[in-house]
């Protein structure tokens, strides 16, 4: 069944190629810093955007041209859509995909009916995984679309919403396990609040932690060994999301004794919504040993909401790759394109252009980051900048050998601090630009 009849497998043709349906930088077998590009990125397609996105927005309904859709939300349509998705991913050459339970199969009238629908589609997902060798990077549960979650799921004021969410995640974990998923993501959906007049914040946080503990217990019970990931996001849909950013998630996980069971899935658009750069969020998560996977996309800084655009900015991808190379990679995580084509890009071929652009931007960024690291200029500069900590009083502080008394004595004797040296930000910015030439 050729659903993209005019498109053949996308190949690497090198930087000089002018064929828009080819890779100019992503060459899966090319080895950089001892690892193939395929293994550096572990690229993944997000089922929800690419196969359930219709291009609808608050001002109008969907207008995407998807010739395989029959206009129903039936299980039959869901199964046909799986075949389309796998043909797309095969032609694109991505090794992974991600989904929410409700992306792949329709919700029924009862939980039992919903689970049965999911089982039928999962059997086909499994078949297609086996046929193509494409694997599941992560599964997740949609705990935000159905009206029962209007007040949140694990943080709802309605205990039945918590119970339903638990049942839903239980099933999503089983399905992820069944499909050999290597991670499982928790994005906080409506876990947050819009105003404090009606909200018991402490009780909601306790419930959220309880929910995660139950998930960890069940993971162990079924022998699922995939990595659990929490995905920070500061706002949208609620004004105040509990998983605001990497720092808030780290504090939450530590407070509730969950720090060893979770890592973070960092998304670029969520980082900027939080007033950070993606590189900040990655560096922060990595510093705490919590960087597990990334959702690759970008926002539009002129709009300021979650536009989920495909990443094309080489400064962004180079920054990401500097941090990722710095921690030795992302596996078992990967680079998931949580991104959607613009409403105006309504033809199926636009899905190819979008992913090719994202993959090439990351591959190009990887090459640049590897060159920056090989030259060592940045690393040497930073090392030099902190040299006062490599010996003398700095070393004594780091080694816990100097307290306030010793530090006062040291300064009384010395009289004043050593003069500062320039941070040379502009010089370094110029230096980084040389690699983009
Ligand atoms: C929404 C999130 C979501 C998660 C998965 O903003 O990005 O798509 O990645 O639930
Ligand atoms: Ca995401
Ligand atoms: Ca997003």
pLDDT, one tens digit per residue, over 313-358 is 999 999 999 999 999 999 999 999 999 999 999 999 999 999 999 9
- For 339, the token pair is 């991104």
Which residues sit with Cβ closer than 5 angstroms to ligand 3, an ion?
269, 306, 308
Long-range Cβ pairs for the range 27-36 (8 Å, 24+):
27/363, 28/93, 32/366, 32/367, 32/370, 33/325, 33/370, 33/373, 35/329
The whole-angstrom distance between residue 71's C-alpha and the CA centroid of its chain comes to 30
In short, whether 241's Cβ falls inside 6 Å of ligand 1 is no
User: What SS3 state is found at 100?
Assistant: strand
Question: Given this model, what pLDDT does residue 4 score?
Answer: 83
Nearest to 7 by CA among 20, 25, 16, 24: 20
Above pLDDT 90, what percent of the chain?
A: 98
| pLDDT digits 0-9 by tens, 207-227 | 999 999 999 999 999 999 999
Q: Please give the structure tokens belonging to residue 326.
A: 């710095």
Whether the full predicted model's pTM is greater than 0.95, yes or no, is yes
Which of 242, 239, 244 shows the shortest CA–CA distance to 271?
244
Are the C-beta atoms of residues 134 and 98 closer than 8 Å to each other? no
CA 284, CA 264: separation in Å to the nearest integer? 11
From residue 390, give the alpha-carbon distance in Å to each of 326, 394, 395, 410, 421. 21, 7, 5, 17, 16
* Nearest bound ligand to the CA of residue 269: 3
Instruction: State the DSSP code for 311.
Output: P
Pocket test of ligand 1: the residue of 98, 138, 188, 231 to mutate, having most ligand atoms within 8 Å of its CB, is 231
pLDDT at site 1: 54
pLDDT confidence of residue 97? 99
Q: Which ligand is closest to the CA of 266, given by its number?
A: 2
Residue 103 falls in the annotated catalytic set: yes
- For the CA atoms of 215, 220, 222, 227, the dihedral, rounded to the nearest 10 degrees, stands at 70
Question: What's the pLDDT at 333?
Answer: 98
Tell me: the pLDDT tens digits for 165-176? 999 999 999 999
* Dihedral angle, C-alpha 337, 340, 345, 350, nearest 10 °: 30
Active-site residue, 100 included: yes
Q: Ligand 1 centroid to 181 CA: how many Å?
A: 17
Which residues on adjacent β-strands are paired with residue 99? 139
Q: Is 303 exposed, middle or buried (0-12, 13-18, 19+ CB in 10 A)?
A: exposed
Q: Quick one: pLDDT at residue 5?
A: 81
DSSP 8-state assignment for residue 47: H
pLDDT at residue 426 above 80?
yes
Q: Residue 48 and residue 45: Cα distance in Å, rounded? A: 9
Cα-based angle 105, 108, 114 (whole degrees, multiple of 5)? 60
| Chain segment 176-201, per-residue pLDDT in tens | 999 999 999 999 999 999 999 999 99
pLDDT at site 89: 98
pLDDT for 50-105, tens place per residue? 999 999 999 999 999 999 999 999 999 999 999 999 999 999 999 999 999 999 99
185 vs 181: CA distance, rounded Å: 11
pLDDT number for residue 437: 77
Task: Determine the Cα–Cα distance for residues 399 and 284; give it in Å rounded to an integer.
Answer: 23
- In DSSP terms, 136 is beta-bridged to 97
* Residue from 138, 140, 191 to probe ligand 1 pocket by mutation (most atoms less than 8 Å from CB): 140
Distance 186 CA to ligand 1 centre (A): 9
Which atom of ligand 1 has the smallest separation from the CA of 142? 10
- Separation CA 429–CA 276 (nearest Å): 19
Strand pairing category for 240-241 and 192-193: antiparallel
CA distance 398 to 113: 60
| pLDDT tier, 202 (very low <50, low <70, confident <90, very high otherwise) | very high
Q: Helices H, strands E: what count in the chain?
A: 16, 14
Tokens representing 260?
A: 């060893």
Query: Comparing C-alpha atoms, which of 384, 378, 364 is closest to residue 321?
Result: 364
| Interval 29-40: pLDDT, tens | 999 999 999 999
Q: Considering the candidates 100, 207, 280, 355, report the single residue annotated as catalytic.
A: 100
DSSP string, 190-226: T-EES-STT--HHHHHHHHHHHHHHHHHHHHHHT--S
Q: Which of 310, 306, 308, 298 is nearest to 356 (CA)?
A: 310
* 378 alpha-carbon distance from chain centroid: 27
- Please state the atom number of ligand 1 nearest to the C-alpha of residue 236: 6
Model confidence at 414: pLDDT above 90: yes
Written as six digits, the tokens of 243 are 């998983």
CB 186 within 8 A of CB 218: no
**Total count of residues recorded for the chain:** 437
Quick check: 2 pLDDT over 90? no
For ligand 1, atom 10, name the residue with the nearest CA.
187
Of 267, 278, 292, the one to substitute when testing ligand 1's pocket (max ligand atoms within 8 A of C-beta) is 267
Residue 3, pLDDT > 80, answer no
**What is each CA distance from 217 to 137, 173, 214, 222, in whole angstroms?**
21, 12, 5, 9
């Amino acid at each position: 069944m050729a659903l993209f009849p005019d498109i053949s497998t996308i190949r690497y043709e090198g930087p000089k190629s002018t064929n828009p349906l080819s890779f100019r930088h992503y060459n899966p077998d090319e080895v950089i810093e001892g690892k193939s590009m395929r293994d550096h990125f572990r690229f993944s397609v997000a089922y929800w955007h690419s196969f359930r996105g219709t291009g609808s927005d608050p001002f109008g309904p969907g207008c995407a041209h998807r010739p395989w859709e029959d206009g129903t939300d039936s299980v039959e349509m869901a199964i046909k859509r799986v075949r389309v998705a796998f043909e797309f991913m095969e032609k694109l050459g991505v090794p992974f995909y991600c989904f929410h339970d409700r992306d792949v199969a329709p919700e029924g009238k009862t939980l039992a009916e919903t689970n049965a629908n999911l089982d039928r589609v999962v059997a086909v997902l499994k078949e297609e995984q086996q046929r193509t060798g494409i694997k599941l990077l992560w599964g997740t549960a949609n705990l935000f679309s159905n009206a029962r979650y209007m007040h949140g799921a694990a943080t709802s004021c309605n205990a039945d919403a918590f119970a339903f969410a638990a049942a839903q995640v239980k099933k999503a974990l089983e399905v992820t396990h069944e499909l050999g998923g290597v991670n499982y993501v928790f994005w906080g959906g409506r876990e947050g609040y819009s105003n404090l007049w009606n909200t018991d914040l402490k009780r909601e946080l306790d419930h959220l932690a309880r929910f995660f503990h139950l998930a960890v217990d069940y993971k162990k019970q079924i022998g699922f060994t995939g990595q659990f990931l929490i995905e920070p996001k500061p706002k949208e849909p609620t004004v105040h999301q509990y998983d605001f950013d990497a720092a808030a998630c780290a504090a939450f996980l530590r407070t509730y004794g969950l720090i060893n069971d979770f890592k973070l899935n960092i998304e670029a658009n969520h980082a900027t919504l939080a007033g950070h750069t993606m590189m900040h969020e990655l560096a922060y998560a990595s510093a705490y040993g919590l960087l597990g996977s990334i959702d690759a996309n970008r926002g539009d800084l002129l709009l300021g909401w979650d536009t989920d655009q495909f990443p094309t900015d080489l400064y962004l991808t180079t920054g990401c790759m500097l941090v990722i190379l710095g921690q030795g990679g992302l596996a078992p995580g990967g680079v998931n394109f949580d991104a959607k084509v613009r409403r105006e890009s309504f033809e199926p071929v636009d899905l190819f252009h979008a992913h090719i652009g994202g993959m090439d931007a990351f591959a190009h960024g990887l090459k640049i980051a590897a060159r920056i690291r090989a030259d060592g200029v940045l690393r040497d500069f930073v090392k030099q900048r902190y040299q006062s900590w490599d010996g003398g009083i700095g070393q004594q502080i780091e080694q816990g050998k100097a307290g306030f008394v010793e530090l006062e004595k040291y300064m009384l004797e010395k009289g004043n601090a050593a003069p500062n040296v320039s941070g040379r930000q502009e010089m370094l910015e110029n230096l980084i630009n040389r690699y983009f030439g």
